[in-house]
Amino acid sequence: MIRVVIDANVLFSALIKNSLTARIIFEEDIVLNAPEFVVEEFLKYEELILKKISRTKEEFVQIMHMLKEIIRVVPKEEYAQFIEEAEQCSPDEKDVMYVALALKLKIAVWSNDKKLKQQDRVKVYSTEELKNELMK
């Protein structure tokens, strides 16, 4: 069982097309966590996602409901005490909440962001690396 904090861009990619990312998200051997702002990101970019997806609106809605069932959205107050530490080691301010949550839960982040891999406080899996871990 692999527990990770999932990056919003990974989720967007799974919504846009049926891919390796989408298959991994629905794997039984993975437990997904996300900072609460990810929900806001989805609402903010819903129209853009709908324009890009190769799915129907109904499929999109269905996938969103499935994601709500399998992703544990963690309220900010649960990892707030790790935000300052995350700010110090995150190469990009957009990654601070992912790192803070990963520090709190003592787990890795699933992100394809190469800059995020440059920090050394939390492990970062790319989609390909996560696939390889799951196949072990």
pTM of the model: 0.90
pLDDT of amino acid 71: 94
Read off the pLDDT of residues 110-119 as tens digits, 9 standing for 90 and up: 999 999 999 9
According to CATH, what is the number of the domain 2-135? Answer: 3.40.50.1010
- Please report the pLDDT score of residue 83 as a whole number: 97
* CA-wise closest residue to 83 among 14, 131, 37: 37
H or E element: which one contains 39? helix 37-52
pLDDT of residue 5: 98
Instruction: Assign 124 to helix, strand or coil.
Output: strand
Which CA distances in Å does 37 have to 7, 73, 95, 121? Answer: 11, 9, 11, 21
pLDDT at 61: 79
Residue 9 has pLDDT above 80, yes or no: yes
- Number of alpha helices (DSSP H) and beta strands (DSSP E) in the chain: 7, 5
* pLDDT score for 112: 94
What are 75's two structure tokens? Answer: 């309220």
Rounded distance between C-alpha atoms, residue 70 and residue 55, angstroms: 20
Alpha carbon 2 to its chain's center? 13
Coil, strand or helix at 130: helix
Confidence of residue 32 (pLDDT cuts 50, 70, 90): very high
- Contact criterion met (CB below 8 Å) for 25 and 134: no
Report whether 24 contacts 111 (CB < 8 A): no
In which band, very low, low, confident or very high, does the pLDDT at 77 lie, cut at 50, 70 and 90? Answer: very high
Which structure tokens are listed for 80? 């707030």
Residue 53 has pLDDT above 80, yes or no: no
